């Protein structure tokens, strides 16, 4: 059973940085991708980044490109995916989730293709 756990959220001033972590386990075989989403009240869930296990390719939404960076650290039976968030803005305030899919990152922004989700971690950016 694939399990994911997101952590690292907190309160930061605009212009600051945070690093989110997603500890993922239970991948038995085959390729997978791990994506990051965020959600704020009144807005749709937004897919913001993804990393593919087979070649390490990364994807970013236009809203975070150039400010956020995704990476992964593979250990035995566990994958940790990081989302380094720099130059944070108040509009980045949201609950952030990581999720996994057996598909690639090609449609990383489509939450329907993800079948395992971690609990959210709250990021609050003050102005």
The pLDDT profile of the chain, 127 residues, written as one tens digit per residue, is 899 999 999 999 999 999 999 999 998 777 899 999 999 988 889 999 999 998 899 999 999 999 999 999 988 778 999 999 999 999 999 999 999 999 889 889 999 999 999 999 999 999 9
Residue 89: Cβ-neighbour burial (10 angstroms; 0-12, 13-18, 19+): middle
Q: What is the pLDDT of residue 20?
A: 98
pLDDT value at position 75? Answer: 80
pLDDT at res. 127: 93
Q: How far apart, in whole angstroms, are the C-alpha atoms of residue 110 and residue 124?
A: 24
Q: What is the pLDDT of residues 22-55, one digit of tens each?
A: 999 998 777 899 999 999 988 889 999 999 998 8
Distance CA 66, CA 47 (A): 16
Instruction: Measure the CA–CA gap between 80 and 23, rounded to whole angstroms.
Output: 4
């Amino acid at each position: 059973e694939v399990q994911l756990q997101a952590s690292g959220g907190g309160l930061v001033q605009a212009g600051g940085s945070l690093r989110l972590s997603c500890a993922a386990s239970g991948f038995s075989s085959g390729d997978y991708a791990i994506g990051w989403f965020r959600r704020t009240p009144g807005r749709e869930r937004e897919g913001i980044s993804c990393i593919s296990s087979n070649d390490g390719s990364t994807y970013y939404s236009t809203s975070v490109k150039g400010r956020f960076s995704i990476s992964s650290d593979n250990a035995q039976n566990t994958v940790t995916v990081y989302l380094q968030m720099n130059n944070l803005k108040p509009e980045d305030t949201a609950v952030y989730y990581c999720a996994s899919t057996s598909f690639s990152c090609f449609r990383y922004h489509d939450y329907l293709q993800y079948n395992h989700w971690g609990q959210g971690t709250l990021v609050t950016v003050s102005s």
